[in-house]
Structure 1
Amino acid sequence: MMKINQLKAGAILSYISMSLGYIISILYTPIMLRLLGQSEYGLYNLVSSVVSYLGLLSFGFGSAYVRYYSRYKVEEDEENIAKLNGMFLIVFSFIGLVSIFAGIALVKNTEMIFGNKLTSDEISTAKVLMGIMIFNMAISFPASVFNSYITANEQYIFQKIVQIIKTVISPFVTLPILLMGYKSTGMVIVTTILNILAELANIIFCLSKLNMKFSFSLFDFSLMKEMTVFSSYIFMNMLIDQINWNVDKFLLGRFRGTVSVAIYGLAAQLNSYYLSLSTAISNVFIPRVNRMVAKDNDNVELTFLFTKVGRIQFILLSLICSGFIFFGRPFINMWAGNNYDESYYIALFLIVPVTVPLIQNLGIEIQRAKNMHQFRSKVYLLIAIINVIISIPMAKAYGGIGAAAGTSISLVVGNILIMNWFYHSRIGLDMKYFWKEITSIIKALVIPITVGILMIKLVDLYNIKRFLICASVYVIVFSVSMWFLGMNEYEKNLLRKPI
């Protein structure tokens, strides 16, 4: 019962955290954009996209932790759990050290990495930003062991409360720093300090509350070898994600400059919010999926869970996606300024095709739990390479929209067409049942979509008062239509019970 409450509370707190994050972002981002300026904001995004590649040094071991912890937990093998903790702490501490040396090399070669589109002042700022971000990442590697332990123990309430506190505090600390004129450097320093405090909270919680044990007596090389093989394909997935979500900013930085990166970066920020909406639900089911596979590996039960979570994700994402199609452009213009108008079209190229894999992202954890994630990694790597090949000429010719279009094509081919075949034919999930359940919701979208089309044709949505009224009406129409035409009793009860 306690774990079920943790699951429910974890999902609820995830959405509270995200809701607070979105509200704060709506209020804070316009101020931040104007205080930083378009070029500085673009530079911040550009440096972030490059430093994020150091995250690949984790080699996907973080995802492997939950799988092997679940195996030992089912067997109630506390000794091997302690050895696992010790081994992961050693490995990730070493990775953190490597990331520092790799980061030093990046800082020394900043001019070569970013090309000649940046000014000398931008290069100097980029070096400072890169150094701070690298330090932040180096600390996060060993600290991630404790966060993984909290996840494996399904202690979502603590985990999400820490996240909420960080979300709320961040803008209140950052804004005065920006007003004092410290710009992106001050913003990155604040982020680093808050991350360190959050990691310390996780460590204290693991040691004092969860009684986390470590054993450093024997380093299990055979287990390390097994995990390396398992994680190698997760590493490929990480590499692919980096290419799909960060390479466009790097290409634009080299070929178009920081302003183009800023426009793309705002669209990518909106897309990241969209991605987080889906993963908030599926992430809390990761330990359950691993237990189900370790215990019975029942494809029928896995299909039911996969579909149940997918339907909830689709209901939520269809509201956000359709709402953004109708209201996204006036929102961006009023929120960020008309010099970010192109961000709307870039965001559409990113958001619309990613909706299908987002409602299926629990399938990724099912693949990993079954140790059948290798095929996905190989296919996605090929698609990511094609994405880069397409995006280079399109970024040169059409800027951010061209780069986003290249990413969109790779998402459709890899994430939608090939992976649905793989889930059905190889993983053993009944995708016919899945899509039958998903398409049964689509009839509930007809009325709100009709209302949305009438609104953009008949109403000036660039007036903030009319915008808010129309957006509210759209949400109400969508909710009523979904309640009566789309949702089943289980989904309705998810709303009835808390009320």
Structure 2
Amino acid sequence: MKINQLKAGAALSYISMALGYIISIIYTPIMLRLLGQSEYGLYNLVVSVVSYLGLLNFGFGSAYIRYYSRYKVRNERENIAKINGMFLIIFSILGFIAVLAGMALVFNTNLVFGSQLTTQELSVAKILMTIMVINIGFSFPNVVFNSYITANEQFVFQKLLQMIKVIANPFLVLPVLLLGYGSIGMVVITTVLNISIEIANAIFCFRKLNMEFSFRQFDFSLMKEMTIFSSFVFMNMIIDQINWNVDKFILGRFHGTVFVALYGLAAQLNTYYISLSTAISSLFIPRVNKIVASFDDNHELTLLFTRVGRVQFIVLSVIWTGLIFFGQPFINMWAGPNYSESYLITLFLILPVTIPLIQNIGIEIQRAKNTHQFRSWVYFFIAIANVIITIPLSKKYAGIGAAMGTALSLIIGNIFIMNWYYHKKVGLDMIYFWKQIISFVPSLILPILVGVLVHIYIDLYNIKLFLLYGFVYVLIFSVSMWFLGMNQYEKDLIRRPIIKLIKKLKIGEYKM
């Protein structure tokens, strides 16, 4: 029986994330205590610097699916083999350049991290950076294989690998931490695991998908076209790096590793939050490109944009509302009282990003239509403003100030300007979209009222009461959303798999 890759991929994404969150709830506090606040901050600081090397792929990964879809629609196998060969050459060269750039950073750690780090911290940072540079160097050629798997909508394999990684990583890292190898041991294990996943991707492409490469007749005209297209994707990558990593770097320069640790924990929670949304939208990248390549129907794209956005809103709204009422005691009990300040930082990061997250499939629509240039320029200037605002705010208010600067940039760029652009230039009916999102408001009134009462009258620092009222809140939210918010399509997403499962169980009982 043929597997529905889209539905199975979505299911596996959420199973993987659920497992990841459960494991993280158990593993993270142990890891924080074994590393200590200072070393955890140092690890986050090094990650924030090395991640900039990822910019050296110049956004070519996003271009791959666009051009693959174009040739796939025309059934041009030879051209697909050519772009496979072209991209492998490009990413191998870029990976080598990234390693060289990374080693230059390794030999200049004093200049990179400033005077707030101790001699011991600088020594550890140098080792961490070296290992991470090797990791990122291997990751570049893998972009070709991973993109090919995505373009062929082989989501089950992708998500199974992701699930294996999520489960294996803490179980491999924890013994290393217990043996006293600290952040260095943690990074070594992560690197080995990443390289193993990348090798598995390549094997799957060759053996299962019969991926072909042609290294003859390097198409320079196509390369020029892809470079122009990717240049704006590259700009978006720069912006994302500024918005999500520059804060930790600034905090490290002005306040040291402890404040980076506070921000790093909030950033980790924000990453989990973002992953809930992107797990849905990433599955629709090939479909968006097919619609645009085949008939470019704005009405069809608007319906897809809205349908996905509503599902994302349902998933995210239970998180952000729950975080407001239960977040502070959760962080204190989970990470420890030393991380109490991370609560406000988390709110400043998560609340403003919610609206762009329910619209993130619009980014893929822009790329497929080749109308992403405006977004890139808008975000670029706002990201620069973010840095200018963040420096004085972080000097005065540390992590909270840095998060405030990021929040302001997200509100101006991602919410106001981009909604206008989606409606006026991209061709999406944003009035229809927002009417559909606003229709959720009645379903949020009861859970928010319950959350306020619980926050005022219940001692949520008592773990038994926290778990009890957390469950009550989720239950009330779910019931209210089912009866007052969700439409038939959204209810069927839950109801149909349950009905199928019940039928299968009944058939199994009958056969027995």
Show CA shifts across 1:208-231 (max 9, x none). 000000000111100000000000
Kindly report structure 1 stretches of 4+ aligned residues shifted beyond 3 Å. Answer: none
Matches within 5 A, 1:223-234: 223-234=222-233
Which letter does structure 1 place at the counterpart of 2:298?
N
Distance in 1 between residues matched to 2:404 and 2:496, nearest whole Å: 42
Distance in 2 between residues matched to 1:112 and 1:2, nearest whole Å: 56
Distance in 1 between residues matched to 2:253 and 2:431, nearest whole Å: 44
Counterpart for residue 491 of structure 1: 490
Counterpart for residue 254 of structure 2: 255
Counterpart for residue 472 of structure 2: 473
Counterpart for residue 77 of structure 1: 76
State the identity as a percent.
Answer: 70
SS of match in other structure, 1:116:
coil
Distance in 2 between residues matched to 1:452 and 1:366, nearest whole Å: 37
Pairwise CA distance, 1:2: 4.7
Instruction: Count how many residue pairs are aligned between Structure 1 and Structure 2.
Output: 498
Counterpart for residue 48 of structure 1: 47
Which letter does structure 1 place at the counterpart of 2:334?
W
Distance in 2 between residues matched to 1:182 and 1:26, nearest whole Å: 22
SS of match in other structure, 1:480:
helix
Which letter does structure 1 place at the counterpart of 2:192?
I
Distance in 2 between residues matched to 1:355 and 1:423, nearest whole Å: 17
Matches within 5 A, 1:29-48: 29-48=28-47
Show CA shifts across 1:277-332 (max 9, x none). 00000000000000000111110010000000000000110000000111010000
Distance in 1 between residues matched to 2:355 and 2:441, nearest whole Å: 13
Distance in 1 between residues matched to 2:393 and 2:452, nearest whole Å: 30
Distance in 2 between residues matched to 1:338 and 1:356, nearest whole Å: 30
Pairwise CA distance, 1:381: 0.2
Counterpart for residue 196 of structure 1: 195
Counterpart for residue 415 of structure 1: 414
Counterpart for residue 177 of structure 1: 176
Which letter does structure 1 place at the counterpart of 2:322?
G
Distance in 1 between residues matched to 2:217 and 2:181, nearest whole Å: 48
Counterpart for residue 144 of structure 2: 145
Distance in 1 between residues matched to 2:218 and 2:376, nearest whole Å: 28
Show CA shifts across 1:118-149 (max 9, x none). 00000000000000000000000001110110
SS of match in other structure, 2:15:
helix
Pairwise CA distance, 1:442: 1.3
Distance in 1 between residues matched to 2:253 and 2:73, nearest whole Å: 51
Counterpart for residue 435 of structure 2: 436
Distance in 2 between residues matched to 1:30 and 1:104, nearest whole Å: 32
Pairwise CA distance, 1:188: 0.2
Distance in 2 between residues matched to 1:297 and 1:242, nearest whole Å: 31
Counterpart for residue 331 of structure 2: 332
SS of match in other structure, 1:497:
helix
Which letter does structure 2 place at the counterpart of 1:417?
F
Pairwise CA distance, 1:8: 0.4
Pairwise CA distance, 1:464: 0.4
Show CA shifts across 1:330-355 (max 9, x none). 00000000010000000000000000
Pairwise CA distance, 1:435: 0.1
Pairwise CA distance, 1:9: 0.5
Which letter does structure 2 place at the counterpart of 1:96?
G
Instruction: Establish whether residue 447 from structure 1 lines up as the match of residue 446 from structure 2.
Output: yes
CA 2–239 in structure 1, closer or farther in 2 if over 3 Å, else same: farther
Show CA shifts across 1:31-74 (max 9, x none). 00000000000000000000000000000000000000000000
Counterpart for residue 455 of structure 2: 456
Distance in 2 between residues matched to 1:367 and 1:169, nearest whole Å: 36
Which letter does structure 2 place at the counterpart of 1:171?
P
Matches within 5 A, 1:245-284: 245-284=244-283
SS of match in other structure, 2:497:
coil
Distance in 2 between residues matched to 1:244 and 1:143, nearest whole Å: 25
Distance in 2 between residues matched to 1:400 and 1:165, nearest whole Å: 34
Pairwise CA distance, 1:255: 0.1
Distance in 2 between residues matched to 1:316 and 1:356, nearest whole Å: 13
Distance in 1 between residues matched to 2:452 and 2:348, nearest whole Å: 19
Distance in 1 between residues matched to 2:171 and 2:245, nearest whole Å: 28
Instruction: Establish whether residue 159 from structure 1 lines up as the match of residue 152 from structure 2.
Output: no
Scaled by the length of structure 2, the TM-score of the pair is: 0.97
Show CA shifts across 1:163-183 (max 9, x none). 101111111110000000000
Counterpart for residue 317 of structure 1: 316
Structure 2: state its 5+ residue gaps: 499-512
Counterpart for residue 98 of structure 1: 97
Which letter does structure 1 place at the counterpart of 2:471?
S
Counterpart for residue 353 of structure 1: 352
Show CA shifts across 1:212-259 (max 9, x none). 000001111000000000000000000000000000000000000000
Distance in 2 between residues matched to 1:65 and 1:124, nearest whole Å: 39
Distance in 1 between residues matched to 2:440 and 2:295, nearest whole Å: 31
Counterpart for residue 65 of structure 1: 64
Distance in 2 between residues matched to 1:112 and 1:200, nearest whole Å: 35
SS of match in other structure, 1:457:
helix
Distance in 2 between residues matched to 1:203 and 1:112, nearest whole Å: 38
Distance in 2 between residues matched to 1:59 and 1:88, nearest whole Å: 12
SS of match in other structure, 1:217:
coil
Distance in 2 between residues matched to 1:481 and 1:143, nearest whole Å: 44
Which letter does structure 2 place at the counterpart of 1:182?
Y
SS of match in other structure, 2:89:
helix
Counterpart for residue 503 of structure 2: none
Distance in 2 between residues matched to 1:251 and 1:222, nearest whole Å: 41
SS of match in other structure, 2:439:
helix
Counterpart for residue 399 of structure 2: 400
Which letter does structure 2 place at the counterpart of 1:89?
L
Distance in 2 between residues matched to 1:9 and 1:405, nearest whole Å: 38
